[in-house]
């Protein structure tokens, strides 16, 4: 598989290592506006693009890939306000898009557990809250992963109709956000009753899990059209 890496920072380098280990090739890396001008034609050689750039760049990057009908895996978060716009173009033009708030296989297992916990929490009177910790360089707050955890809870637990990173309040799902050091990512869901507490936690030790998941998504996406996520990947398991 011939891969284009859009965004060649720490995650881009990690994806490159994972791809080469699986005998794929990297045909181009693009990390800034000048490289888009100089290397755009090289994208035509790629079977798929894997995008890990910045929130203010991702939408334009997706459109550029779509201009070439290049299947695109998007790992950048904090662009969901534009998701419907991108989705509509993808479907109208029979393009290929795979997006997820977190590509870690372990984190996606936690998403499944979180949904189950939320169902039982409402039925048996558990109060829920979230906590997430990331490195000081992370731009979005809360993380896209924490937002997905919160939205999945609200979809099944009617005690909550919004989430907030401010002080807890009625019908509000509280997300405690910490930015410190070089933490790769820790997400916890806490369920507490008068009798006990349940905590589900996922802690990333490095970026390898994210890279492996993004590469699995790219392998899955080639040859397909439509909008996909990790749930679609998991259906193949």
pLDDT for residue 235:
87
CB-CB contact of 154 with 115 (8 Å) = no
Which tokens is 49 given?
A: 């693009």
pLDDT for residue 237:
63
Residues designated catalytic: 134, 138
pLDDT for residue 139:
82
Residue whose token pair is 């173009």: 89
Instruction: Report the C-alpha gap between 141 and 20 in whole angstroms.
Output: 32
Query: 105-203 architecture in CATH?
Result: 2-Layer Sandwich (3.30)
CB-CB contact of 90 with 66 (8 Å) = yes
Q: Where are the alpha helices (DSSP H) in 68-193?
A: 83-92, 105-124, 144-156
Q: Distances in Å between the alpha carbon of 69 and those of 49, 58, 230? A: 10, 16, 21
Q: Distances in Å between the alpha carbon of 18 and those of 15, 105, 168, 207, 212? A: 5, 15, 41, 11, 6
Residues of the chain with CATH 3.30.360.10: 105-203
Question: Whole-prediction pTM value?
Answer: 0.86
Q: Is 3.40.50.720 the CATH classification of the domain at 2-103+208-234? A: yes
Per-residue pLDDT of the chain (237 residues; tens, 9 = 90+): 999 999 999 999 999 999 999 999 999 999 999 999 999 999 999 999 999 999 999 999 999 999 999 999 999 988 989 999 999 999 999 999 999 989 999 999 999 999 999 999 999 999 999 999 999 998 889 998 999 999 999 999 999 999 999 988 889 999 999 999 999 999 999 999 999 999 999 999 999 999 999 999 999 999 999 999 999 999 866
Which tokens is 228 given?
A: 């996909």
Q: Determine the distance from the C-alpha atom of residue 8 to the mean position of all C-alpha atoms in its chain, rounded to a whole number.
A: 17
pLDDT for residue 169:
83
DSSP 1-48: -EEEEE--SHHHHHHHHHHHHTT-EEEEEE-SHHHHHHHGGGGGG-SE
């Amino acid at each position: 598989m011939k891969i284009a890496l859009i965004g060649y920072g720490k995650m881009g380098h990690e994806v490159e290592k994972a791809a080469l280990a699986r005998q794929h090739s990297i045909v181009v890396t693009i990390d800034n506006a000048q490289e888009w001008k100089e290397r755009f034609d090289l994208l035509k050689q790629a079977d798929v693009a894997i995008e890990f750039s910045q929130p203010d760049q991702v939408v334009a990057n997706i459109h550029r890939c779509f201009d070439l009908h290049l299947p695109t895996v998007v790992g950048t978060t904090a662009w969901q306000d534009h998701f419907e716009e991108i989705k509509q173009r993808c479907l109208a033009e029979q393009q290929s898009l795979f997006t997820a708030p977190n590509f870690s296989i372990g984190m996606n297992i936690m998403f499944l557990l979180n949904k189950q916990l939320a169902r039982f929490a409402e039925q048996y009177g558990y109060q829920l809250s979230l906590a997430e910790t990331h490195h000081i360089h992370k731009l979005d707050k809360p993380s896209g992963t924490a937002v997905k955890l919160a939205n999945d809870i609200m979809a099944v637990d009617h005690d909550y109709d919004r989430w907030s990173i401010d002080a807890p309040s009625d019908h509000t799902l509280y997300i405690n956000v910490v930015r410190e050091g070089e933490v790769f990512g820790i997400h916890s869901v806490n369920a507490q009753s008068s009798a006990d507490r349940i905590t589900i936690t996922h802690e990333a030790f490095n970026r390898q899990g994210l890279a492996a998941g993004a590469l699995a998504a790219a392998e899955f996406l080639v040859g397909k059209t439509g909008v996909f996520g990790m749930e679609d990947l998991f259906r193949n398991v």
